């Protein structure tokens, strides 16, 4: 099972590292799309910025940081939980296929939505994964 973890974690993390880096560098590309969901969350969570661009960049930083740590097996359960928690609003903001009028775009967003839900399932498995033996933070 340790070999599977060593392979699976970087694979699961790769999407977050890649998109997180892009988002940190260019948050403006997603800020307008994310604004309704991001600003609604910011109203309920104390300490979050009230600026969509800053919230998108923060989400990207979570994806980049937690994804990198997950890939290396450092605090994998905590990182998977952080990624799972951030993936839900990311998906709702970016892939609301039910609100899309264009059939082609609706289909693309539906595929991306359910791909993200599949990734969410993998993250939840990673959250629940408890390696046997004494190692609790790597492996």
Q: Does the structure show a pLDDT above 80 at 110? A: yes
Q: What is the pLDDT of residue 42?
A: 96
pLDDT of residue 135 exceeding 90? no
pLDDT tens for residues 38-60? 999 999 999 999 999 999 999 99
* Residue 1: predicted pLDDT: 75
What's the CA gap between 44 and 29, in Å, rounded? 24
- Quick one: how far is CA 48 from the chain centroid? 17
Confidence of residue 91 (pLDDT cuts 50, 70, 90): very high
Q: Go through the chain and tell me how many residues it has.
A: 139
Task: Determine the pLDDT at residue 131.
Answer: 75
> Percentage of the chain surpassing pLDDT 90?
89
Q: Alpha helices of 1-139 — where are they, by DSSP H? A: 2-25, 28-44, 52-71, 76-94, 103-128
């Amino acid at each position: 099972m340790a070999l599977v973890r060593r392979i699976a974690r970087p694979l699961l993390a790769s999407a977050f590292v890649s998109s997180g880096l892009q988002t940190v560098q260019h948050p403006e590309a997603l800020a307008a799309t994310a604004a309704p969901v991001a600003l609604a969350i910011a109203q309920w969570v104390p300490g979050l910025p009230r600026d969509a661009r800053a919230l998108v960049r923060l989400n990207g930083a979570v994806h980049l940081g937690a994804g990198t740590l997950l890939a290396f097996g450092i605090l994998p359960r905590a990182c998977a939980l952080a990624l799972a928690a951030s993936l839900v609003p990311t998906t709702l903001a970016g892939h609301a296929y039910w609100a899309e009028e264009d059939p082609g775009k609706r289909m693309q967003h539906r595929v991306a939505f359910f791909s993200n839900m599949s990734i969410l399932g993998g993250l939840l498995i990673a959250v629940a994964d408890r390696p046997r033996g004494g190692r609790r933070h790597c492996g």
